[in-house]
Amino acid sequence: MANLDFKFLKEKYGTPLYIYDVNHLKKNMTGYLDYFKSNVFETEVLFASKAFCVKEMLRLVKAYNMSLDVVSIGELYTAIAVDFPMDKIYFHGNNKSISDLEFALNNNVGTIVVDNLMELVALDEITNRLNKKCNIIIRLNLGVEAHTHKFIVTAHVDSKFGVSYGSNDYNDMLDVLKNSKNINFKGFHSHIGSQIFDLDAFTAALEKMLGICKSFDKPLVLNIGGGFGVHYTDEDKPIPFDVVSKTLVDTCEKALKANNVKIEKLCIEPGRSIVAEAGYTLYTIGFTKKTPNKEYYFIDGGMTDNIRPALYQAKYDCDIVGKENELKNHIVTIAGKCCESGDLIIENHPLPEAKSGDLLVTYTTGAYGYSMSSNYNKALTPAVVFVEDGKDKLVCRRQSYDELLEREI
């Protein structure tokens, strides 16, 4: 674990507080960049900004020469704010509006990931009207769906994302592309799920995509998406970066050799696995209480800064700061302060005795914590601090009550 001075950070910034260990972020980025390489085709690592989209994070991604997945104008706007190279941006989304597409084209976004037939028709019209060229890849629904430890290959035709290979819509999309003046079709995208530990699910999806390449003359760009699992609790067994990277590259190299096809580039777009384990959330314990069957430690945040336990029954690990090595002889539920019974961050977790004012840290909160935070009960969005080599830097101020009401008339 990183050497973070939680007590000092609490004094300086207050709680709840999102804390990122910058060295860990960098280690994760180089973990992919160093190993996701091939001598046969180009490779590209995109950061899926939805996992944690603040300017300072995108500056780091830019400094590491990585590319970026954005899924909304808000994320794109954040990228523009840090002068992110537009040619390295992939713009996703199943329901981009006409003005979203116009905004992306006017800002010269590198690649649009087209999700469905209607989007392609609209994009074709817009590129003609604005007289703009545009690169696209098509998001395929490959029928490979993975949920953490299992994956299934079925004709899962009803996903809201992507187009099924060989469907009428798919064939109509090829027709639109044939006749398009301004759209440059580059290849395909697929994303099979999130928090996945089964590498076979990715290789199955990749092999399907490689099979599809055979019906194209030109070498294509293949983007296999994100979804690589991380360690939240000891039940989770993430696959190391080098193994993920090498397996995907090897699968691709072997299939290309066997089928005598070429690809231009292989892309991955991890979000969680870059930021999750580098993130910590720090809380102050307020009241504690015992009921006949439970013991509660109440914290000064909760579902407003981490919705994942309530939304996905996600599990986390935690410690009381300074009492990490004390006997964990209390089975405790960590509850937030929202007016909602489901506002429980961790249930039935062994911890030492705590007193009011103790600090509680939850681990692996760097992905989809800040980015899914809310102002429910008019809670303020916590500050975000980056710490590198013992030096802390505020990258996002805590919201103020005035800011909370700023837009209200």
- b/e for 35-59, b at 16 or more Cβ within 10 A? bbebeebebbbbbbbbbbbbebbbe
Neighbours of 381 (CB within 10 A): 19
Smallest distance, Å, CB 329 to ligand LLP?
32
Closest by CA to 405, choosing from 370, 380, 368, is 380
Return the amino acid letter for 53: C
- Write out the binding residues for ligand LLP, residues 311-340 only, by CB under 6 A: 312
Smallest distance, Å, CB 368 to ligand LLP?
3
Is 134 one of the annotated active-site residues of the chain? no
What stretches of 16-137 show up as alpha helix (H) in DSSP?
Answer: 22-35, 55-63, 73-81, 98-106, 117-130
Per the CB < 8 A criterion, the answer to whether 192 and 146 are in contact is yes
Query: Is residue 69 a contact point for ligand LLP (CB under 6 A)?
Result: yes
* String marking each residue 173-202 x if it binds ligand LLP according to CB under 6 A: ------------------x--x--------
C-alpha to C-alpha distance for 286 and 396, rounded to whole angstroms: 25
C-alpha to C-alpha distance for 236 and 215, rounded to whole angstroms: 39
Binding segment for ligand LLP (CB under 6 A), chosen from 125-133, 164-172, 225-233, 349-357, is 225-233
Smallest distance, Å, CB 243 to ligand LLP?
16
Catalytic option among 252, 267, 339, 396: 339
C-alpha to C-alpha distance for 299 and 107, rounded to whole angstroms: 43
Query: Which phi and psi (to 5°) does residue 237 adopt?
Result: -120, 85
308 vs 337, beta carbon nearer ligand LLP? 308
* String marking each residue 372-391 x if it binds ligand LLP according to CB under 6 A: x-------------------
Binding segment for ligand LLP (CB under 6 A), chosen from 222-230, 239-247, 293-301, 315-323, is 222-230
- Write out the binding residues for ligand LLP, residues 138-177 only, by CB under 6 A: none
C-alpha to C-alpha distance for 229 and 73, rounded to whole angstroms: 27
State the pairing for strand pair 144-147/134-141. unpaired
DSSP 306: -
Query: Is residue 368 a contact point for ligand LLP (CB under 6 A)?
Result: yes
Smallest distance, Å, CB 279 to ligand LLP?
12
Smallest distance, Å, CB 409 to ligand LLP?
32
- Write out the binding residues for ligand LLP, residues 229-288 only, by CB under 6 A: 269-273
Query: Is residue 48 a contact point for ligand LLP (CB under 6 A)?
Result: yes
Q: Which residue has the tokens 């990122």?
A: 20
C-alpha to C-alpha distance for 359 and 235, rounded to whole angstroms: 25
> In this chain, which of 17, 51, 68, 136 binds ligand LLP, going by CB under 6 A?
51
Query: Is residue 308 a contact point for ligand LLP (CB under 6 A)?
Result: yes
- Write out the binding residues for ligand LLP, residues 79-138 only, by CB under 6 A: 92
Q: Which residues contribute to the site for ligand LLP (CB under 6 A)?
A: 48, 51, 69, 92, 191, 194, 225-228, 269-273, 308, 312, 367-368, 372
Q: Which residues are catalytic?
A: 339
